[in-house]
Amino acid sequence: MSDPLAEIVSLLKPAPSIAKLVTAGGTWLVERRDLGSPFYCAIVEGHCLLTINDRVPIRLAAGDFVLVPQIHTLTMSSLMPPPRGTLPQRLETSPGVFRLGNPEAAAEVTAMVGHCTFTGNDKQLLSSLLPGIVHVQDGSSLTDLVRMIHAETVSMLAARDMILTRLLEVLFIAALRSAGNTTTSPGLLRGLADSRLAPALRRIHRDPAGEVSVEMLAEATGMSRSAFFDRFRQQMGVRPMEYVTNWRMALAKDMLRRREAPLVEIAARVGYASASAFNVAFARYVGMTPGAFARSC
């Protein structure tokens, strides 16, 4: 069976960047802006406040896990934070291990935090299909994955980057799957959690080369054309055929980047009857020809 969530995470290509073990005590605050990268955090002990992208602060406690696919601003602090703009007291006690706040105060929180990057060609489009934030309470299995990522990050052993890449993929899929139908923002998770829409999404992903129309997708869900169209747009945030085109072009970009097949074969794999038709559609969508795109990778 086609697995849209796994396919999209695979195309996003998460790559390791930073993983830290942080303890903090007293009053403390850390602010980061213009990050533009995915962020994850697992609270091992204690509690703290986390504010993401200027939203309402979240109180995190032991066992909580947070994943933010696109983070722009981040504030992490004690429950009673110091004034904004306060320079953080920060000490690296050993590689990848940091102490924040008053070093003499008892630790009020221990957390494992990390940043990674999406290296896929369509990272903006694909990450927009994911929820703005995933907050999982009692995420012990996710915390175990974060522990493994931190241990591998500081190990410097052979095949480290490959192992980290695979662990990050598993972490993303497990976290997004844990979110299930609790997410409130339109996107892939809401679509997959909708039992009426899920068959249509799996059909799109299972056979990107096949003939597809709104009518055919509606038939797969047992809905009328208009009911399916409205429900798809509401749950996914895009129109059905817009999603089909986005997915086909994401696959085409990945194949072009990897120089996996001749142009005519790539065209056929993503539903175009000829290389010329694919050329026109790709140039309209991307702003350059497939050949120019492949050379730019």
Q: What is the pLDDT of residues 211-245, one digit of tens each?
A: 999 999 999 999 999 999 999 999 999 999 999 99
1 pLDDT exceeds 60?
no
Of 182, 204, 227, the domain-final residue: 182
The angle subtended at Cα 146 by Cα 143 and Cα 147, nearest 5°, is: 90
Of 139, 158, 182, the domain-final residue: 182
Pair (168, 229) in one structural domain:
no
pLDDT at 149: 93
Phi, psi dihedral angles at 166 (to 5 degrees): -65, -40
User: pLDDT-based confidence at 182, cuts 50/70/90?
Assistant: low
Do the domain assignments include residue 130? yes
- Kindly give, in sequence order, each residue whose CB lies less than 8 Å from that of residue 210, ignoring residues fewer than 6 positions away: 271
| Rounded (10°) CA dihedral 18, 21, 23, 24 | 10
Supply 218's token pair.
């509606």
Helix (H) or strand (E) segment spanning residue 133? none
Asked if 63 and 139 count as a contact pair (C-beta separation under 8 A), the reply is yes
User: pLDDT-based confidence at 184, cuts 50/70/90?
Assistant: low
Each residue's pLDDT tens digit, 108-165: 999 999 999 999 878 877 888 888 889 999 888 999 999 999 999 988 889 999 999 9
Q: Count CA within 13 A, CB hemisphere, residue 116.
A: 28
pLDDT at 16: 85
CA distances for 114 relative to 130, 149, 267, angstroms: 18, 9, 38
Averaged pLDDT, 10-32: 91
84 pLDDT exceeds 80?
no
For 185, other C-beta atoms within 10 Å of its C-beta total 12
Pair (154, 198) in one structural domain:
no
Placement of tokens 């500081």 in the chain = 154
State the total domains in the chain. Answer: 2
CATH of the domain at 53: 2.60.120.280
Supply 181's token pair.
């139908």
User: pLDDT-based confidence at 189, cuts 50/70/90?
Assistant: confident
Do the domain assignments include residue 71? yes
Do the domain assignments include residue 81? yes
Do the domain assignments include residue 189? no
Pair (231, 173) in one structural domain:
no
Shortest CA distance to 147 belongs to which of 171, 176, 178? 171
Distance CA 236, CA 229 (A): 10
Do the domain assignments include residue 90? yes
Distance CA 31, CA 24 (A): 14
Pair (171, 44) in one structural domain:
yes
36 pLDDT exceeds 90?
no
Pair (198, 140) in one structural domain:
no
Placement of tokens 């069976």 in the chain = 1
Distance CA 153, CA 289 (A): 39
Pair (119, 241) in one structural domain:
no
pLDDT at 294: 93
Do the domain assignments include residue 174? yes
Each residue's pLDDT tens digit, 64-77: 999 998 888 889 99
Of 182, 207, 236, the domain-final residue: 182
Pair (175, 45) in one structural domain:
yes
Pair (169, 260) in one structural domain:
no
Pair (149, 28) in one structural domain:
yes
7 pLDDT exceeds 60?
yes
Each residue's pLDDT tens digit, 257-295: 989 899 999 999 999 999 999 999 999 999 999 999 999
- What's the whole-model pTM score? 0.81
Domain containing residue 48? 4-182
25-29, 92-96, 120-124: the lowest-pLDDT one = 120-124
Do the domain assignments include residue 287? yes
Averaged pLDDT, 38-44: 94
Do the domain assignments include residue 187? no
- The rounded mean pLDDT for the chain is 90
Asked if 253 and 122 count as a contact pair (C-beta separation under 8 A), the reply is yes
Pair (163, 77) in one structural domain:
yes
Pair (171, 237) in one structural domain:
no
CATH of the domain at 246: 1.10.10.60
Distance CA 213, CA 66 (A): 37
26 pLDDT exceeds 70?
yes
Q: Count CA within 13 A, CB hemisphere, residue 54.
A: 3
Distance CA 269, CA 275 (A): 11
248 pLDDT exceeds 90?
yes
Pair (145, 258) in one structural domain:
no
